[in-house]
Structure 1
Amino acid sequence: MPWLRRLPRWAWYGTGVLAFIAGLVNAAGYLGFRHQSLSNMTGNDSLLGLALGQGHGGEALHWALTIVAFVAGAVLSGAIVQKSTLKLGRRYGVALVLESILLFASVPLLDTSNVIGLYLASMAVGLQNGMVTTYSGTLIRTTHVTGFFTDLGVYIGHYLRGLPVDTLRMRVTVLVASSFMLGSAAGAVLFPFMGERTLLIPAILTGTCGLGYGLYRQYSRPGTPVGPK
């Protein structure tokens, strides 16, 4: 993964911040009125299957709409970002601001236990994950960490067998997994005081990142693409 070694520093910081945000959003979903994950579509897909198997049509519709919302966010990301190379000038700022708007819009709905707020929040993290997946060629994702823990196990196995280990990839694994965990911890601390309004924090963070990136792009020279070809 030579392109990974060319990632600019701002991309490393951004990856950690986005994983933190996703962990915070997911924690708010788990602690909220439906106690559900907003970013883990593996679990939600299983719950959809369970609802279908048990003949619970209303539940099946809910989980189907949660998944559709996440996919819709990824669709928006693909339409906005478009390219698979990480380069100043891409419309990451637009995607982040849109994620912020979706999170802000979800809060008053969640305050009244309206499930549409859950769909908007899932769309927001789907948009974020789609953006990062696009520029990393599916190697980096910030809204779930199953793949990273799989990588960690594989690399430990390689190390035990005396095989070479990609230490940079290990750093990415630790960065995303630890940032996601810290975001979840922050959500657990904030939720007792803020309730569903905990999502205002990631909404502010993504909006700030989006506007900050826009300013950074405005006053920086266009960079050389560093993503996978």
Structure 2
Amino acid sequence: MITRLPRWVLVYAALLAFMAGIINVVGFLSFEHQAVTHLTGTTTLLSAALAGGQGGMALHLLAVLGSFFAGAALSGLIIGDSILRLGRRYGVALLMESAVLILAVRYLQDGANLGIYLAGLACGLQNAMATTFSGTVIRTSHVTGMFTDLGIYFGHLLRRAPVERRRVIISLTVIGGFVAGGVSGALGFQPWGFGVLYVPAGLAAGLALVYAGYRWRTAGQGG
């Protein structure tokens, strides 16, 4: 049960989901038509490729999965904990995500699969940065869990059982951010192409600067 919900958590979740929505829609609109922010469909495609003896495709899909996994592992190495708490090294992770996305643009524009892998690494890094808050899972790179939670609480509402309102707010916030990011990414892809990824890259860098400012101010007050 969530006992408190600071406003920064909602802003943080909405912005990260917005960024993920842009990245994922660019993956779908690219030459590979490849989802990069969630792995269920990719794992299914890998199964089909293995069953069909498509070795090259299987290796590509394994690379997509491995990239996301590597990003999550990198986040665990940098931050050191999955509990969302101000004071951890989120700024470093955000700056790294920004740099990886900028690099991904270059390779995507050259038609190289490495661009897809770098985008997947950025999403894994982002998604692992803040996975729990007050016992509640917050996934910003995909919305399956958010829709599941909404369905559960709608069922509770129908049977007049208690509904955790704050969890519903988080779910709607993440879904709204992801959809807004997808729409923005699709619209931006038409004139800018893969350069639209500079938007989430810039947002990640901006969040890192805001976070650095917060830590500097907090350290000054503590001193």
TM value normalised by structure 2: 0.94
Matched residues, number: 220
Retained in 1: the 8 A contact 2:82–2:129?
Answer: no
1:53 and 2:51 correspond: yes
Counterpart in 2 of 1:8? 6
Moved over 6 A (4+): none
Retained in 2: the 8 A contact 1:84–1:137?
Answer: no
Percent of residue pairs identical: 47
Counterpart in 2 of 1:169? 167
Of the three residues 193, 196, 209, the one matched with 1:195 is 193
Gaps of at least 5 residues in structure 2 are: none
Query: Can you list the C-alpha shifts for 1:104-150, whole angstroms capped at 9, x where unaligned?
Result: 11001000110001001100000000112155656110000111111
Letter in 2 for 1:64: L
Alignment root-mean-square deviation, CA? 1.5
Mapped partners of 2:136, 2:31: distance in 1:
32
Counterpart in 2 of 1:208? 206
1:146 and 2:140 correspond: no
Gaps of at least 5 residues in structure 1 are: 223-229
Counterpart in 2 of 1:81? 79
Letter in 2 for 1:216: Y
Mapped partners of 2:66, 2:125: distance in 1:
12
1:178 and 2:176 correspond: yes
Letter in 2 for 1:36: Q
Retained in 1: the 8 A contact 2:102–2:201?
Answer: yes
Of the three residues 93, 96, 100, the one matched with 2:94 is 96
Cα drift, residue 212 of structure 1: 1.5
Letter in 1 for 2:126: Q
Mapped partners of 1:165, 1:137: distance in 2:
16
Letter in 2 for 1:17: L
